[in-house]
Amino acid sequence: MGDFKIVLLPPDVQEHWPDMIRARVPGAQVLVFDGPEEALHDLEDADCAYGYMPPEVFSRARRLSWIQAPAAAPHPSFFHDALVESDVTVTNFRGIYHDNVGHHAVALLLALARRFHTYLPQQLAHDWKPAEPAVHLPDSTVLVVGLGGIGAEVARICKALGMTVAAVDPRRTERPGYVDDLRRPEAVGELLPKADFVVVTTPDTPQTRGMFNSSLFALMKPAAFLVNVGRGACVVLDDLVEALRSGAIAGAALDVFEIEPLPANHPLWKMPNVLITPHIAALDAPHLLERRTEIFIDNCGRFADGQPLRNVVDKANRY
């Protein structure tokens, strides 16, 4: 295309991006701002942008065609009504966390299966006492809720461990070889009673927010475990606490929470059948900057060349 004007807004704009964009799109006009309000004038004739853009700023960007969201699953507030109802294409960084978060999820699953939630407190108490037998994974079924990049990595490793793997996903229709049963999300209630482990990797969308509540916990096996590395809003904490207290499910391992930071007086901290990590599955993970850069610069080139963009978001569903 002839003109190419892009505005870079916070967060996490990298110093080398402007030069990389100009190298990929010769003649590109690249402008970097510390905040969206500073960019009001230049957004009026910008073709594309990176970063968060509130409604009052977005309304000034009349020529805008594409926004690169600064996250794999942006906060729901990113998708305000004006953006969702517009013709502006949104892309994100999904896929860059698949190994880091996927491996953390499997580590939590293995910790539950091997009863580490029992043995770690016993270690601190100097208490040498065998717990109930570990879960034999080849005789177990895992249900992966969300078969995107992270969910697919979880499913692949679980299959390598000998587990039966079921999954639900709203987009994916072709079943990978490491998944035994792939369904639409509407089938989650049918699959839950068969699962020994349920791993949640979904983004926060209108469809997933509060998805795991008392109704779904009631469908799980009493011996089943929940692992959540997706978004905290997908699991209703009060309902989870009740399910754990009542024995509706056997335990949980959580890296994300409906309330963050998890309050110091929250009952989950002291529950003997719970493992907690403080939203660190991808904290300081290697290669994330390189992966973000590769997707963004590639999309700049694709946009300039009139080619399809990578990681296009379904704005109505926020993923």
Decide if 231 is catalytic: yes
Select which of 279, 291, 302, 310 is catalytic. Answer: 279
Decide if 114 is catalytic: no
> What pLDDT score does 107 carry?
98
Please write the tens of the pLDDT for every residue from 40-68.
999 999 999 999 999 999 999 999 999 99
The mean pLDDT of 290-297, rounded to a whole number, is: 98
CB atoms within 10 A of CB 194: 15
> What pLDDT score does 3 carry?
79
Q: Is the pLDDT of residue 231 over 90?
A: yes
Q: How far apart are CA 47 and CA 62, in angstroms?
A: 9
> What pLDDT score does 2 carry?
54
The mean pLDDT of 210-217, rounded to a whole number, is: 98
CA distances from residue 129 to 28, 30, 121, 255 in whole angstroms, order as listed: 67, 63, 11, 28
Select which of 98, 231, 292, 318 is catalytic. Answer: 231
Predicted confidence band at 75 (pLDDT cuts at 50, 70, 90)?
confident
CA distances from residue 270 to 117, 274, 276, 295 in whole angstroms, order as listed: 11, 8, 10, 42
Please write the tens of the pLDDT for every residue from 250-293.
999 999 999 999 999 999 999 999 999 999 999 989 999 999 99
Decide if 37 is catalytic: no
Higher-confidence residue: 74 or 64? 64
Q: Residue type at 44?
A: E
Is this prediction's pTM over 0.75? Answer: yes
Select which of 245, 260, 287, 290 is catalytic. Answer: 260
> What pLDDT score does 76 carry?
84
Which residue, chain included where needed, has tokens 């929470």?
Answer: 257
> What pLDDT score does 240 carry?
98
Q: Is the pLDDT of residue 1 over 60?
A: no
> What pLDDT score does 317 carry?
86
Please write the tens of the pLDDT for every residue from 120-168.
999 999 999 999 999 999 999 999 999 999 999 999 999 999 999 999 9
Q: Are 48 and 28 in contact (CB under 8 A)?
A: no
